[in-house]
Amino acid sequence: MSVWQIIIKEIRHRKLNFCLSLVAVAVAVAFLTGAISLLNVESAITHWLQNQHQAEFEKKIELKQEEVQKAGQELTEFARKNGLLLGFNIWILPENQSLNELHVSGEISQTFPESYVHKLSEAKVVTINHLFPMVIEKLTWEEKGIDIILTGTQGEVPILHRTSKKPLQDQVPTGSMVLGYNIHSELNLKVGDKVQLRGKEFEITELYDQRGTKDDSTVWINLKEAQELLGRQNLINAILALECNCASVDRIGEIRQELASILPGTKIIEEKSRALARAESRNKAKQEAEESLAREKLSGMTLLEDQQHNRDQLEQQLSFFTTVLIAFILICATIWLGLLTYNNVRQRRNEIAILRAFGVRSHQILTTIIGRNLIIGVLGACAGILIGFLAGNVYANWSGTQASAGYETPLTLHLTDLQAGSSLILIFLLAPVLALIAGWFPALLASREDPASILQSEN
Amino acid sequence: MLLQAKQAVKRFSSGTPNEVIAVKDISLDLSAGEFLAIHGPSGGGKSTLLLILGGLLRPDSGTIEINGRQPYALSAEDRASLRATEIGFVFQQFHLIPYLTVIENVIAPGLAPRPAGKESSHTELHQRAVELIEKFGLAARADHKPGELSTGERQRTALARALLFKPPLLLADEPTGNLDDENARIVLTAMKEYCAEGGGVLLVTHDARASEYADRTLTIRDGQLQAENVPA
C-alpha cells in the first residue's frame, strides 16, 4: 500500500469535504480564467472598435479630401475658362480720361495713339502679360434703332520678348460682328445674318450668352473697321492688360512704376471683374473648405484619441477592479480550502496517530495531506479553467456581437483572443500552488501532532 | 530482556497546582515469550504506562529499554523506526482506518519504512495479512470496511494489524474492554499463542479475564505498581 493509494481511498471516503474543496479551487480558477478572458475580450473589442473608427474616419476624410480636390479642380477649370477676365487685369487709359465719366456713363471719350500698344509690346515689361488695344464708343445703331457699346478689337498683341503663348482671345475678323445677348435677343439676330452698321455690312459670326454685364449690350467688330467707322484712325481708347504679375501688395503701384517710363501720358486702373470676384469667392471657399477639412481632421483625431483614452481608462479601471476581486476570491478560496483541510485533518487524527504509532514517518503523513490538496488543486484547475474558458467564450460571442452591431464587418473573436497559452499554464500551475499553501499549515500540524496524546485521549 | 523499565516517572501539568503523577517510579521487565498483564482501575495510569513503554510518551525520568535499545535516547525518526520493527499496538478503540478494508488495514503498517534487511515486498505483506485474517476468522470480511464489522471483528483486525511484522513486543491497551466473552477469549488466546511463538505481550486492562491467560499479573493503582501475582 502506498501513500497515494491511501490518498485516493480517503478522497473516496470523504467525498463531501473533497467536493467542497474542489469547488473552492474551481470557483477561484474559473473567476481568474473568466476575468482574464473578459479583460482580453474587452481589449480586443476596444482595439477592433478603434480600428473601425479610424477606418471610418479615414474614409470620411478621404471623401472630404476628394470633394475639396474636386472643388479645387473645378475652380482651376473655371479660372482657366475665365482666364480672360480672371486674375489681375488692368485698363491703360489716356491720362486725361475722366474716371467719373467712365464710371457714370461707362464711356471712354479720350484716346491715345495705337502705337502705344506696340511700344508696350516691344518693351521688356514684366508686370503685364496679354495686351488688348480697343476703341470703345457708346452710340445708337441707326439701322436697328438701338443703343449699343461699339467695341473695336484686334485680339491680343503679343509681347515680343516673351515666348509665344496661345492668344487668350481671338481677333474679330474684318467684316464680322460679335453680338452681346441683349442686342441679338432684342433684334432677333442669328449667326450668319448680314447687318448694316453706319452703312457698312457685317456678318454676324458669334452670339454671346447672357453675362449680366455691359457686354450684353456690346457689339464687337474689328479694330481697324471700328477706327474707320468712328473716325479714330490709329487711335485707341484703352488697352486691356490681362493676368498681370505682381508680387507685392501694391500691385497697381508696381505696374504704374514700370509703365510710367514706357507710356507717359497714360493712367492705369484695375479691372475688378465679376469673374474675379467669383474666383476670389471660390478661392476663399476652397480655403475655408481646406481649413474646415483640417479642423475636421484635427477634431476627428482628437475624438479618436479621446475615445482611446476613455477606453484605456475604462480598461484600467476594469483591470483594477478585476484584480482586486480576483485577489479577494483567491484569498477567500485559499482560506476556505485551508479550513476544509484542517477539518479533514481533525477528522483523521486517530488514523494519523495509529500510523505514527506503527512507525509511519511525519513526512509521510505530510505527504498524504499535501498530496490530497495537490490532487484538489490540479482537478480544480482543470474544472475552473474549463468553466472560466467556456464562460469567457460565451461572453466573447455576446460582447463581440453587441460591439459589432451596425458595422459592415462583424467582429469575430477567436479562442486565442480569450487566453494566451502561457497564461493558461500559469493559471494551471497557480491552483495547485494555492492548494498546497492552503494545506501546508494543517498538514504540518498533523505531521507534528503527538500521537500519544491522541491515543491517550481516545482510550 | 525484551522490555525493561527502570524507575519510570511521568507527571502531567508539572509544576502547577493541578500536577498529576500518572506513573510513579515504575520498574518492570518482560522477557520474550512472556505474557504480562497489568491490572488496575480506570485512571490508574495503565494507558500512560503503556505509551511510555511503547516509545510514544517520553517519561520525565527513568529509562526504558526495548531489546536493549532506549527509545527515548533515539531521534524521533529512529524511535518511529524502532516502533515499526519492534512493537505492535492494540488499543481498546481499535483505531482502524475507516476507509480501508480489513486486509488493507492489516497491511497499513507496511507504509512505515523498514530498516535495511527487514523490508517486505507487497506480495509478502499481502500473504502475511491473508494468513492473519484467516487465523482470526476474518477471511469472509477481508474486503469489508471497519464500519461493516462487529466490535469483535474490529478488535481481531486490530490485532492482526499489530502482528503483521511479527514484532517481538505486543503492547495491548484494554483490548478486551469492549468485547463479549467469546471475542475476548479469541483475542486473549491469540495473544497467548503469540507468546508461545516467542513474542512478548504486555497487556494493560481492568478485565479480570486477562489474568487467566497471563504468565504474570501486576496491579497498578495511582500510578504505582502494587503487587505481583504469578499464577500457580
* pLDDT greater than 80 at residue B122: yes
Q: What is the mean pLDDT of residues B65-82?
A: 90
Least confidently predicted of A219-233, B30-44, B106-120, B171-185: B106-120
Least confidently predicted of A74-83, A435-444, B174-183: A74-83
* pLDDT greater than 70 at residue A228: yes
Of residues A154 and B72, more confidence is placed in B72
Would you state the pLDDT for residue A267? 87
pLDDT digits (tens, 9 = 90+) for A117-141: 888 888 877 677 778 889 998 899 9
Q: What is the mean pLDDT of residues B150-156?
A: 90
Q: Percent of chain B, pLDDT > 90?
A: 53
pLDDT digits (tens, 9 = 90+) for A231-276: 989 999 998 887 666 555 566 777 787 788 888 888 888 776 555 5
Least confidently predicted of A118-127, A301-310, A364-373, B126-135: A118-127
* pLDDT greater than 60 at residue A83: no
* pLDDT greater than 90 at residue A75: no
Would you state the pLDDT for residue A245? 64
Residue boundaries of the structural domains of chain B:
3-229
Would you state the pLDDT for residue A254? 75
Mutate which of A8, A362, A458, A459 to test chain B, going by most B C-beta atoms within 10 A? Answer: A459
Q: Which residues of B touch A353 (CB under 8 A)?
A: 95
Mutate which of A2, A354, A454 to test chain B, going by most B C-beta atoms within 10 A? Answer: A354
Do A361 and B113 count as a contact with CB atoms less than 8 A apart? Answer: yes
First-to-final CA distance of chain A: 27
Q: Which residues of B touch A357 (CB under 8 A)?
A: 54, 56, 83, 89
How far does the CA of residue B171 sit from the closest CA of chain A (Å)? 11
Q: Which residues of B touch A13 (CB under 8 A)?
A: 98-99
pLDDT digits (tens, 9 = 90+) for B8-23: 999 988 888 888 899 9
- Residues 6 or more apart whose CB falls under 8 angstroms from that of A303 comprise none
- Residues 6 or more apart whose CB falls under 8 angstroms from that of B211 comprise B37, B39, B217, B229, B231
Do B57 and A452 count as a contact with CB atoms less than 8 A apart? Answer: yes
Q: Percent of chain A, pLDDT > 70?
A: 89
Mutate which of B95, B124, B163 to test chain A, going by most A C-beta atoms within 10 A? Answer: B95
Confidence of residue A82 (pLDDT cuts 50, 70, 90): low
Would you state the pLDDT for residue A183? 93
Of residues A183 and A36, more confidence is placed in A183
How far does the CA of residue A361 sit from the closest CA of chain B (Å)? 7
Q: What is the mean pLDDT of residues A10-33?
A: 92
Tell me which H or E stretch contains B205.
Answer: strand B200-205
How far does the CA of residue B232 sit from the closest CA of chain A (Å)? 32
* pLDDT greater than 50 at residue A84: no
Per CB distance under 8 Å, which residues of B are interface residues toward A?
47-48, 51, 54, 56-57, 76-77, 80-85, 89, 91-93, 95, 97-100, 104, 107-113, 122, 161, 173-174
The partner residue sitting opposite A455, judged by closest CB among B82, B91, B110, is B91
Least confidently predicted of A243-257, B114-128, B142-156: A243-257
For A448, the closest chain B residue by CA position comes to B76
* pLDDT greater than 80 at residue A92: yes
Do A357 and B97 count as a contact with CB atoms less than 8 A apart? Answer: no
pLDDT digits (tens, 9 = 90+) for A314-342: 888 888 888 888 889 889 999 999 999 99
The partner residue sitting opposite A459, judged by closest CB among B76, B83, B173, is B173
Mean confidence (pLDDT) of chain A: 83
Would you state the pLDDT for residue A408? 76
Q: Which residues of A touch B77 (CB under 8 A)?
A: 361
Mutate which of B38, B90, B97, B143 to test chain A, going by most A C-beta atoms within 10 A? Answer: B97
State pTM to two decimals: 0.65
Of residues B116 and B131, more confidence is placed in B131
Would you state the pLDDT for residue A292? 80
Least confidently predicted of A281-290, A358-367, A383-392, B75-84: A281-290
pLDDT digits (tens, 9 = 90+) for A169-215: 567 889 999 999 999 999 999 999 999 999 999 999 999 999 888 88
* pLDDT greater than 70 at residue B75: yes
How far does the CA of residue A335 sit from the closest CA of chain B (Å)? 27
Of residues A111 and A171, more confidence is placed in A111
* pLDDT greater than 70 at residue A88: no
Top-ranked range on mean pLDDT: pick from A48-62, A273-287, A406-420, B158-172? B158-172
C-beta separation of A239 from A116 below 8 A = yes
Q: Which residues of A touch B76 (CB under 8 A)?
A: 362
* pLDDT greater than 70 at residue A280: no
B3-229 fold: Rossmann fold (3.40.50)
C-beta separation of B185 from B122 below 8 A = no
**Using alpha carbons only, what angle is made at residue A399 by residues A387 and A22, rounded to the nearest 5 degrees?**
10
How far does the CA of residue B188 sit from the closest CA of chain A (Å)? 19
Confidence of residue A52 (pLDDT cuts 50, 70, 90): confident
Confidence of residue B49 (pLDDT cuts 50, 70, 90): very high
The partner residue sitting opposite B84, judged by closest CB among A10, A359, A452, is A359
Do B112 and A360 count as a contact with CB atoms less than 8 A apart? Answer: yes
